[in-house]
Amino acid sequence: MSEPVNLLDFDVNGLIAWFAERGEKPFRARQVMRWLHREGCDDFERMTDVAKSLRAKLAAEACIRAPEAIRDSVSSDGTRKWLLDVGGANAVEAVFIPETSRGTLCISSQAGCALDCAFCSTGKQGFNRNLSAGEIIGQLWLANRLLGATGKAGGKDEEGEPLNGRVISNVVMMGMGEPLANFDNVVTALSVMLDDHAYGLSRRRVTVSTSGIVPAMDRLREECPVALAVSLHAPDDALRDRLVPINRKYPLAELMAACRRYLERAPRDFITFEYVMLDGVNDSDAHARALVRLVRDVPCKFNLIPFNPFPNSEFRRSAPERIRRFAGILIDAGIVTTTRKTRGDDVDAACGQLAGQVQDKTRRTVRLAQSTEARS
């Protein structure tokens, strides 16, 4: 007997096609999508407006399987982090950040990460595999259930848009992994987030963060343009090659050109550049002025991120006054600049701290240890 199909792996078009193979009409797929994602239903018998014969067919051939929460940590500031079992001795993490006018869920796209950014705890653990579409959207599905989300209307966010009773109003693909290195599964999950039969999130409220995989940025622009954040972290190729190794393949000139192309279809009229503040590395006045020159033709805003230390890191966080001075240079040049408030650092949920537990099939940890021994 074949393994049951996980319905969370489908967007609406995929579910329509799967239903069509079983002689079912498209509206049945949309019905089931609403039960799955609006109601968070995991029991076919509760889908009361679905034909009994179809419910029996689903029970025989399908399942609803999201990652299981094996740890649930709540920070003193209300940030909530879940460690999620994705099988094969691997776990990933999702983080919910509550604020007065919105609730943001940060979700993962891979078990580990292959890009090895120098300042990132997640990148230091190696890479195992891409998450399936069901494992990605399953983080949102599960978080809604654990947070007690309802479908009741009411309330508006800071931009005056209705929250429609959502506990989670924004989703950011900024957890473990590089989303655009898992393109097809990420886009399927994005489609579910945006679908009015599912979560109905605005494209403006769904953000994909990338370290700069240029061909995939162009594909995202064509297939599913949502808000885009680019992990920049350096104003020149020499420094970015060190901090963000993917820059050696797609240097800054190519990345800036891709950002300009993306804006032609983006739901927001700017790119967000993320910039981690590393003491004595990328935080000087000269670095700030170089950034101004770099992005002069790219409508953008900067999100400065105080570095979050982790064991055996070579970096330190820039001093608050240094960050303020750096931000001031960008602001004086007319660039909207914010400094990210550190949230959830007492449960290791802050930016760059998502390490989880990953079976390192790249053997990066072993190679790094051997390299260190050879130098000593």
Residue showing tokens 């599960």:
142
- The dihedral built from the CA positions of residue 8, 9, 13 and 15, taken in this order, carries a sign that is negative
pLDDT for the residue numbered 146: 93
Q: Are 117 and 245 in contact (CB under 8 A)?
A: yes
CA Rg value for the chain: 21
CB atoms within 10 A of CB 185: 20
pLDDT for the residue numbered 217: 98
- Which 8-state DSSP code applies to residue 327? H
Q: State if pTM tops 0.95.
A: no
φ, ψ at 84 (rounded to 5°): -115, 130
Q: Are 156 and 163 in contact (CB under 8 A)?
A: yes
pLDDT for the residue numbered 64: 97
- The C-alpha angle 269, 275, 277, rounded to 5 degrees, equals 155
The DSSP bridge partners found for residue 346 are: none
Domains of the chain are 5-63 (1.10.150.530), 70-375 (3.20.20.70)
Cα–Cα dist 199/80, whole Å: 21
pLDDT for the residue numbered 1: 60
Q: Are 89 and 73 in contact (CB under 8 A)?
A: no
pLDDT for the residue numbered 199: 96
Residues belonging to the active site: 93, 351
pLDDT for the residue numbered 164: 45
pLDDT for the residue numbered 122: 76
- The C-alpha angle 80, 63, 187, rounded to 5 degrees, equals 60
Q: Determine the straight-line distance between the first and last CA of the chain, rounded to whole angstroms.
A: 56
Q: Are 262 and 293 in contact (CB under 8 A)?
A: no
pLDDT string in tens for the chain (376-residue length):
689 999 999 999 999 999 999 999 999 999 999 999 999 999 999 999 999 999 999 999 999 999 999 999 998 888 999 999 998 888 999 999 998 889 999 999 999 888 989 888 877 778 889 999 999 999 999 999 999 874 433 444 555 554 444 689 999 999 999 999 999 999 999 999 999 999 999 999 999 999 999 999 999 999 999 999 999 999 999 999 999 999 999 999 999 999 999 999 999 999 999 999 999 999 999 999 999 999 999 999 999 999 988 888 889 999 999 999 999 999 999 999 999 886 555 555 454 445 555 554 554 444 444 443 444 4
The DSSP bridge partners found for residue 317 are: 278
